[in-house]
Structure 1
Amino acid sequence: MLVRNVKFNSDNKIHSIYVNDEGMIECIDCNRKDGTVIDAKGRLISPPFVNPHSHLGYALTLKYAKFNESGTLLEGVQITREEIIPKISEEDLRKRLDIISKMLFINGVLYVRTHEPVLNDLAIKMLRIREEFTNLIRIQVVAFPTPGYFYGDNIERAEKALEEGAEVVGLIPHSEGSIEEGYKSIKIATDLAVKYGRLIDGHVDETDDPSSRFSEALAREALVRGIGKRTSISHMTASHSYDNWYFHKLLLLLRDSGVSVISNPVVSLHLQGRYDNYPKRRGIARIRELMKGGVNVALGSDNVIDAIYPLGDYNMLRVVQEAFLVDHFVASEVTSLISGITENGYKALSIVPPIIEEGQKAQFIILQARNYYDAIRTALPPFLVINGRYYANNNVSFLVNDSDITDKVINIVD
């Protein structure tokens, strides 16, 4: 395959890339023309997107149970735990994951972290079948002990999932039965991570309660144990309600510990503030302040078409767009947000980003636009997604009376 007229961000020049039959970048600017030829028309090439927080195991299960009528996280979790997870067999998961992997792929996501409940061995089921989908995406599994380590035999189930190959230890301290059990769960998770040499990613402080401060305890534990770079704090929506003095103190600890924060702005907007009268809190992590303070912040999709969030499509550019909107970013900061689904995401997952060079496996995307600004503004799926020998071509065009206006409406800020 020859991809012509590709804009490289590194030198702002147009190049061509030849991908051979083995899915390797054989040469750049050699203009070999055998096989498929795709004209990128000056569109921007980019590393693949990362989705650092999802729940693939019960995605697309919205109609498996009654609807979540309150819209709260608590009701959604209860429906998921009691009515949906017990219905999920390995074959059911395989059928949905076939669709999900394609949804992720066409949206340019080649790497995804999924939090899989240890209940009903859902995490282990994911581990058993995930290799069937590596032609399109790579899946990193979190052994997720929802609704807490002290629920049933979740400690044993989590350890079993780690022994089966889960790369990440999960936790959810604010959901435990008491504050004391919440702090104990942090010790359990960090002990497991050290024992098995695993990463950590917890649902932490996913609440509007300003007194929920487990992020501080986890960051401190990670700092003391020297595992900060292997640790992620997902959600941290309570930080939206922290007083500014405390948040500044926490920010310094997060920075010094080296932990990553993973925010899921779309779903958090849907879930948080449900118990407020007007004015309602936005209920997301303080993305902008965290980034400015030197914390590695990545952005995830979270739930898609399930009891917790009934919409969604794994469009990571839309996730970036919502982060810009909800946390009061400004025009000069738009393009910097792309790091939340590229370099910062790779860092959170402890994955080395693919390199767009001769002799490397072809893993890249070409956006619909000629720059990141217009790509985020339009939030269109990438024009081209390549993972080795597999590719998706999302050729978007707009016509008015048979006159092609695509370039005029997409590339405005170029």
Structure 2
Amino acid sequence: MDLVLRAARIADDTDLVDIAIAGGVIVAIGHRLPERGADEIDCAGRVVIPGLVEAHLHLDKALLDSEKSNPDGTLAGAISVTAELKRGFTVPAIRDRARRVLDMAITNGTTAIRAHPDVDPIVGLRGVTALLDLREEYRDRLDLQIVAFPQEGILRSPGTLDLLRESLYAGADVLGGCAYNESTVDDSRRHVDLIFDLAAEFDVPLDIHADFADDACDPRYAMADYIAELTELTGRHGRVTLGHMTSLAGRSPADRARTLERLASAGISVVPLPATDMHLGGRSDAVNVRRGIAPVRELWEAGVTTAYSSNNVRNAFTPFGNADMLDIGLFLAQTGHLSGPEDLTRVLAMATTEAARTIGIADRYGVKVGACADLVVLSSYRLGDALLDRPDRNYVFKGGRVTARTTRTQELIGPGAKG
């Protein structure tokens, strides 16, 4: 064996286990395994989870807040500020900012990221080019999927469709969409039609920014039903993801339930982005300010695969963040009326097994025999406390190799202090 993790906590209702790794793959899990490893780590009862998965992250636009912030805090303001800054983007500058965030993410236990670089006549393919470089540079430390994302729309930004096609030829893994940024509901539907056709042409998954508003009064922000219908018609079950989906919370319970049932039936995943969604949402509310986060518990109950992600790190859309999925998960729990060990364990799953299913890597992912040894040893001793503890990521493994380590000593000083 290359590595054996001893006395690991992988579930709160089972005994501690050993995890044996060879050739970058988990080959055995059991109580007091007899196999010896070239290296062994005593987890001493600490929690071991599969590597965290950022299912929706804008690396090309990260860390821009120091250059220019969003003056009014709205979605429209964020799009406007970013469009201005994009004109000055260079491939080396995008790479440098993205590297800083990738390093944060790895240190915080992330082993897979689905990134959404903008593709439009303003920035061209510079974001895609930079991330293609980084995908190769970081291949031994994390898996990086690239989504060609038309932030500025397609119909209202002529030339974008050709650039999306070029991105896919260049090596982008996924096709994005942003239907609400078209001028009319008919154009929004046409946007969806176009990306479904292009995704079929290249046989790639779709990951669409959808229904990102406080309510669904504007039908451009109520595309989920149409997307579900088209998913069923085109046989793309399990290959479509929707990000944000904040306007769901503004629909009537019965109407919302029907939409959630359609999403579940079509195998569509939903990725709430709580740090961004709550920051930008409710800006016009003088009282009873809306939270602007998709109804996570209802998504669970409807059987919709549901992940969450950071979305942005320190820019006009989200002026916060450290690419720390556990931090975002705790925030989601606090703002989404989720509490107790069962809820918190399920929120953690949204950043691990559910996110892996969302980005299409579930077959080789997890703490299970045959999975890639992408693992994190936390300083927590119970899975249900992994969000509450804000734990250190003591070890981060990619393919059984250590990619990050955090060690910290805390000591109480004073009369009566112990330890």
Query: TM-score, normalised on structure 1?
Result: 0.90
Q: State the shift of 1:98 in Å.
A: 2.6
Moved over 4 A (4+): 17-20, 22-28, 355-361, 402-405
Residue 198, structure 1, aligned to residue 210, structure 2:
no
Alignment of 1:14-413 (within 5 A): 14-17=16-19, 23=24, 29-30=33-34, 32=36, 34=38, 37-63=40-66, 65-83=67-85, 85-119=86-120, 120=123, 121=125, 122-150=127-155, 151-211=157-217, 212-331=221-340, 332-351=342-361, 352-356=363-367, 361-388=372-399, 389-401=401-413
CA distance in 1, matches of 2:10, 2:296: 28
Residue identity opposite 2:110 in structure 1: V
- Amino acid of the residue matched to residue 148 of structure 1? G
d(CA) in 1 for partners of 2:333 and 2:128? 33
* Identity over aligned pairs, percent: 26
Shift of 1:141: 1.0
- Alignment partner of 1:329: what SS? coil
* Distance in 1 (alpha carbons) for counterparts of 2:338 and 2:21: 38
Task: Please give the secondary structure, in 2, of the residue aligned with 1:254.
Answer: helix
Contact 1:98 1:133 in 2 (8 A): no
TM-score in terms of structure 2 length:
0.89
Partner secondary structure for residue 189 of structure 1: helix
Unaligned runs of 5+ in 1: 406-414
CA offset at residue 315 of structure 1? 1.3
Between 1:182-191 and 1:1-10, the stretch displaced more is 1-10
More deviation in 182-191 or 383-392? 383-392
Is this contact kept in 2: 1:102–1:136, CA < 8 A? no
Deviation by residue 1:11-41 (Cα, 9 ceiling, x = unmatched): 7223444556x65557663464655x53322
Of 164-173 and 3-12, the range deviating more from structure 2: 3-12
Aligned CA RMSD, in angstroms, stands at 2.2
Structure 2 residue ranges without an equivalent (≥5): none
Q: What number of residue pairs does the alignment pair up? A: 401
Contact 1:118 1:124 in 2 (8 A): no
- 1:368 touches 1:396 (CA, 8 Å); kept in 2? no
Give, in angstroms, the shift of residue 380 of structure 1.
2.5
Deviations 1:221-257, CA, capped at 9 Å, x for gaps: 1111111310011101111111122111111111111
After the TM superposition, which of the residue ranges 281-290 and 394-403 deviates more from structure 2? 394-403
Secondary structure in 2 matching 1:134: coil
Task: Provide the C-alpha distance between the structure 2 equivalents of 1:94 and 1:184, rounded to a whole number of angstroms.
Answer: 33
Aligned with 1:52: secondary structure?
A: strand
- Identify the structure with the greater helix proportion: 1
AA paired with 2:225? Answer: E
